[in-house]
Amino acid sequence: MPNTNMTTTVAYIMDQCRLTTKLQNYFGQGGSTNEPGLSVCTRTNQRLLTRRMPWKFNVGLLQGPPWDWGGNFIVTQQGMQDVKFAGATLFSLLNSTAGAASLPAGGVSIDLNQNIYVQNGVVRQRYGPVSPINNQAGGVVVTGSTVTVQTIDPHPFQSGNIGQTTLYITGVVNPIFNSIFTYNQLTQTSLWTNGYQLIGIPDNFHLQLAALAGQTDGLVSGAPGIFNFGWLQSAFLTDINSVSFPQPVKAVQAVHRIAPNYTVTGDPVPSICALIDYNNGVIKFRLSEPLSTYALQFNLTYQQRAPKFGTPQDVLLWPDDYVFAFQELALWDAFRNAYGISSEEATLQMNVAMLALQNVMEAEDRETNTQALTPDITLMGGY
C-alpha cells in the first residue's frame, strides 16, 4: 500500500510533460484558460479511477461503528427494497421500542443539510435560499425545544410510536445531533446512547423529537450528501439490534443492478446495488428484496469518482508514491496534443504508460490471499 500523501498538483504534472515535449506550453493554448493542461490531467485521473480496480487509497466508507465512527450507514425498514440515502439515518431498535412486536421499527434516511450543492464533483456551500428535497430548511431543524427531522423516503413510524419509541440519529453534519455507540469489552456488551423521545408525527416525511442538551432554537443541520460516489466495492450487514459486542456481522454481495423482487421465504444471502446517483448528494440503493420487521444495518465501501480539475494548483486524487504512472499516462495524452494521435511518439508513449499502470496495479495487489472461500449457499441448490 502506498504512502497516501497526495500533494502533486496539475501544474507539476504538466511541467514534467513540457520538459519531455520540447517545452510545449500546456496552459492558455487556443485562447482557452489553463488548457489543454487541465483536461489532460482530468482525463488521466478519470482513466485511472474508472478502472475496475479497488484502489486502497481511494476508498470511501458508508459504515457504522466500530469499523468507522462517522456513522454514515443505512438501516432498513420493513417492506422497502429501495433506499434513498444521503449519509445520515434516523432509526429505532427493537430493544428500544415498548411493545416492539406491534410497533413499527427500523430506519429512514435524513434529508440534506442546508445550502449544500455540488459543482464539478466538489461539495460547496451555496449562500442563498435553497431547500432540500422535501422543502424544510434542512434535514434537522430545532424550533424551541423540538427537533424536527425531515426524511428523504417516507418513515415507518405511526401514532402508536409517540411516547413509546426511542429514536437515534447518526451521520448528521453537526455532531451535537448524533447519537453515540458505546461498548464494553469486559462485559462484551454494546449500547446506543443519546436517543430521542418521539413526541409528534406531522406527516410521513417529518418526525418531531424532544431536543437534547445543547440543541438550541434555530439550529439547522442534516445529511452531508454523497458527492464522490464512483462504484460500489463491497458491503456487509450488522445486527444493529444486538446488545452484544461485537455485534453479529455478515458479508453481502455488492452487485451492479437488481430487479424488483419479493419472496415469502426471504433471501438468505442478501445483495445490494447502487441503483441511481441523483447527482445532488442522494443515491438510491436497492436491496435484493425487502427485508422483514427486524431492521439491519448495511455498511458500504465504495470507490470515489475522479474530480474535474479547475486550476493548475489543484491536487491530484492520486498518491505521491504512484505519481510516476500518472505522469506517464498524462504524457501519452500530452503527446497526442503536441504531435497528433497517430504519431510515433504517442504510440510509443502509450506502451510505456500501460507498463507503468500495470506496475501500480500489481503494487496494489501484492498481498497473498490465504483466506479460504466457501459458498454461503450449497452448490447443489436449495438452502
Question: For 130-139, how does the pLDDT look when each residue is reduced to its tens digit (9 = 90+)?
Answer: 456 677 889 9
Nearest to 303 by CA among 234, 225, 224, 223: 234
- Return the closest-CA partner of residue 109 out of 217, 190, 226: 226
Q: Find residue 271's DSSP bridge partners.
A: 253
Rounded distance, CA 322 to CA 113, Å?
36
Percent of the chain with pLDDT over 90: 62
Taking 70 as the threshold, does the pLDDT of residue 327 lie above it? yes
Mean pLDDT of 320-327: 94
Indicate the pLDDT class of residue 129, thresholds 50, 70 and 90: very low
Identity of residue 46 = Q
Please, what is the average pLDDT of the chain? 87
pLDDT at 375 over 80: no
Cα 244 to the chain's mean position, in Å? Answer: 27
Say if residue 120's pLDDT is above 60: no
Phi (first) and psi of residue 321, to 5 degrees: -65, -20
Instruction: With a cut of 60, say whether residue 119 has pLDDT above it.
Output: no
DSSP at 73: -
Phi and psi at 112, nearest 5°, equal: -65, 155
Residue reference for cell 455498511:
299
271: which residues sit within 8 A by CB, 6+ positions away? 235, 252, 253, 254, 255, 258, 287, 288
pTM, to two decimals: 0.87
Of residues 92 and 26, the one with the higher pLDDT is 92
Asked if the bond preceding 270 is cis, omega within 30° of 0, the reply is: no
- CA angle, corner 292, sides to 223 and 267, nearest 5? 105
Q: What is the mean pLDDT of residues 88-100?
A: 81
More confident residue, 21 or 11: 11
Q: Looking at residues 341-361, what average pLDDT do you find? A: 89
Q: pLDDT tens digits, residue range 52-64?
A: 888 999 999 999 9
